[in-house]
Amino acid sequence: MRKEKMATRDAYGKTLIELGRQNRDIVVLDADLSKSTRTEYFAKEFPERFFNVGIAEQNLMGIAAGLAASGKIPFASTFAVFATGRAYDQVRNTIAYPGLNVKIAASHAGITVGEDGASHQTFEDISLMRGLPGMTVIVPADAVETRFAVKKAAEVKGPVYIRLGRPKVPVIFDETDYSFELGKGIILREGKDATIFATGIMVSRALEAADVLADKDVDVKVVNIHTIKPIDEDLIIRCAKQTGAVVTAEEHSIIGGLGSAVSEVLAENYPVVIKRIGIQDEFGMSGDAGELLVHYKLTSKDIVEGVESCLKMKKAL
């Protein structure tokens, strides 16, 4: 891991400019949050291809659908809570059902929204988007992965949900030897005692946890699941077979997100003990993002404890 830090929303904003230069069909939409979602970068360079619809998220999705139906590649951005919650039916019926080529790139997902509090923190967005047939769901772990994911999203046909964050997060990957394969997890560290499947900001925390566990002679595999849907079933099953114990880690509810997706795959194919690290079926609250990550048990220490309790369960079997 490098020392450098960057928010995934910043990487998104920059990548949109790259895409805009390469392809005239790229259009970007926002709902009065272009400064926060970083779509303002694109708006500055391509004002004629940027549409700020005002505070009207349902209309945002509807207009994006119409643009896609006419051959454009729209990226529609707002906060994740509004993109997936406020405009859910518009996303479901006018984007996902017809399979339209709309890219929903939503920022400020998860607890790290911080001080704005529960009304602005979503832990159910992955769950909502994952349940929609044909919707691809991507949660980048860092700025480099975001860049590759956004470019891939522009290439593939059909609706894509990209989950972005507010805070600066560690840059894990190296541009020069990173490759993004949609629907394929990335093994970041080999291990034999347990597997940690992590997504988003929890990936760097999982790597930290692995270091701590190594000092205690626990050898864990760390896998980055950037694509929650379609989920990498083969890899998940293989890792479960190799390690016999699985921990999932996500900045999302333990209901409906990565933890659920991994559990579903393993329950039907190769049951092993599983521990889900995530938000425990509750709403958020205001506070400093770092303090909230501690409060909601989303630190590397919590992952370490998750692995230890998982290994205890495995032994007891």
Partner 1 sequence: MSSIEETIKKLEQKTKIIRSYIIKMLAEAGSGHPGGSLSAVEIVTALYFHVMNIKPEEPYWPDRDRFVLSKGHAAPVLYAALAEKGFFPVEELWKLRKTGAMLQGHPDMKGTPGVEISTGSLGQGLSAANGMALAARLDGRKSRIYVLLGDGEVEEGQVWEAAMAAAYYKLDNLMVFVDHNHLQIDGHVEEVMSPEPLKDKFNAFGWHVVEIDGHNLEEIIQAVETAKGIKGKPTVAIAETIKGKGVSFMENQVDWHGKAPSREQMKKALEELGGVLDA
Residue 54 touching partner 1 (CB under 8 A): yes
Q: Quick one: which of 24, 44, 55, 115 contacts ligand TPP (CB under 6 A)?
A: 55
Is 233 marked active-site?
no
Stretch of 108-116, 144-152, 260-268, 300-308 lying at the interface with partner 1 (CB under 8 A): 108-116
Report d(CA 42, CA 50) in Å as an integer. Answer: 7
Q: Quick one: which of 41, 42, 50, 82 contacts ligand TPP (CB under 6 A)?
A: 82
Render the burial of 39-59: b for 16+ CB within 10 Å, e for the rest: bbbbbeebeebbbbbeeebbe
* Packed helices 202-215 and 300-316: angle between N→C axes, nearest 10 degrees: 60
- How many residues touch ligand TPP (CB under 6 A)? 6
The pair of structure tokens assigned to 79 is: 């906060």
Catalytic residue among 18, 48, 57, 155: 57
> Residue with CB nearest ligand TPP?
32
Instruction: Give the residue with the Cβ less far from partner 1, 45 or 211.
Output: 45
Which residues are CB-contacts of 183 (< 8 A; sequence separation ≥ 6)? 227, 230, 231, 232
Out of ligand TPP, partner 1, none, what residue 255 binds, judged by CB under 5 to 8 A for its kind, is none
Long-range contacts at 208-213 (CB < 8 A, ≥ 24 apart) = 208/300, 209/300, 209/301, 209/303, 209/304, 209/307, 212/300, 212/301, 212/304, 213/304, 213/307
* Shortest Å distance, C-beta 242 to ligand TPP: 45
Confirm if 197 and 225 have CB atoms less than 8 A apart.
yes
Report d(CA 43, CA 48) in Å as an integer. Answer: 8
* Shortest Å distance, C-beta 184 to ligand TPP: 34
Residue 53 touching partner 1 (CB under 8 A): yes
Residue 147 touching ligand TPP (CB under 6 A): no
3-state secondary structure of 241: helix
Instruction: Give the residue with the Cβ less far from partner 1, 58 or 242.
Output: 58
- How many residues touch partner 1 (CB under 8 A)? 32
Residue 32 touching partner 1 (CB under 8 A): yes
Instruction: Give the residue with the Cβ less far from partner 1, 97 or 283.
Output: 283
* Packed helices 258-269 and 233-243: angle between N→C axes, nearest 10 degrees: 70
Residue 86 touching ligand TPP (CB under 6 A): yes
Residue 234 touching partner 1 (CB under 8 A): no
Residue 291 touching partner 1 (CB under 8 A): yes
Residue 205 touching ligand TPP (CB under 6 A): no
Task: Render 182-231 in DSSP notation, one character per residue.
Answer: TT--EEEE--SSEEEEE-TTHHHHHHHHHHHHHHTT--EEEEE--EEES-
**Chain residues that interact with ligand TPP, rule: CB under 6 A:** 32-33, 55, 57, 82, 86
Residues annotated catalytic, as ranges: 57
Q: What does the binding site for partner 1 look like in residue numbers (CB under 8 A)?
A: 30, 32-36, 40, 52-56, 58-59, 81-82, 85-86, 114-120, 285-288, 291-292, 295
